[in-house]
Amino acid sequence: MRARRPFATARAIGAALLALLGLFGALDRGALAQTPARSATPARAGVFDYYVLALSWSPTYCADPRAAARDQAQCGSARRYAFVVHGLWPQNEVGWPQDCATAVREAPPALAQQQLDIMPSARLVQHEWRTHGACSGLTPQAYFDLTRRLRAAIATPPAYAAPDRPLLVTAADVRANFIAANPKLRADGLAIRCRNGRLQDVRVCFTKAGAPRTCGRDVRDRCDGRVQMPPVRAGAAPPATRR
């Protein structure tokens, strides 16, 4: 009997280990099941919850030499842009649809040209239609008409109209200035995004009918501390001022 006791002990230890592994596996699966997916969610055109209007600070984009070389119409022209429309994006409360099936893969060239005052790149116009506009359930004409109407509804804060020197701002500064210029906007209906120490864009949330609304969980500030807003018209690079 003594000779068998070690084998019995080994079997018992093995069984215990297997039980623990099964418990850990169940816990891991439970934790994963409670973690929501953050990626884009496939959906049918027209099936979404609200819109996000993304207003890009053009001087930040053009401060990247690669972007400046690629988009001469935006970064190399005599005109200098401040906030431009990056896109109008159908959004869900969690996640977003994109690349929806559509019979119209490109906006008509004449229509794309008409957007260049607010979206100064024909390539961007076509990309936004294919990736986001097709999910709106609208025709290209109706989608870009809505984009223009929502952009026109947002007044650019005077401090950001055409600064000739770098500005130092925080997300709170930008939000306060936008609400001062647009009293109907909600503090929780704006998201301020930054990258590499510079303001990247301001995202404004609208209902499908075009009224300001609270942003969903995926549309949040991504901007820490003070960041720079490069000037619209750069002079002799004076010191940055806070606004």
Query: Is 90 in contact with 57 (CB distance < 8 Å)?
Result: no
Residue with tokens 């004076």: 238
Query: Is 200 in contact with 60 (CB distance < 8 Å)?
Result: yes
Length of the chain measured in residues: 243
Neighbours of 214 (CB within 10 A): 14
Annotated catalytic residue, options 93, 106, 127, 128? 128
Burial of 240 (0-12, 13-18, 19+ CB in 10 A): middle
d(CA 195, CA 191): 13
Whether residue 128 lies in the annotated active site: yes
d(CA 171, CA 21): 46
Whether residue 132 lies in the annotated active site: yes
Whether residue 93 lies in the annotated active site: no
Annotated catalytic residue, options 86, 93, 106, 127? 86
Q: What residues are labeled active site?
A: 86, 128, 132
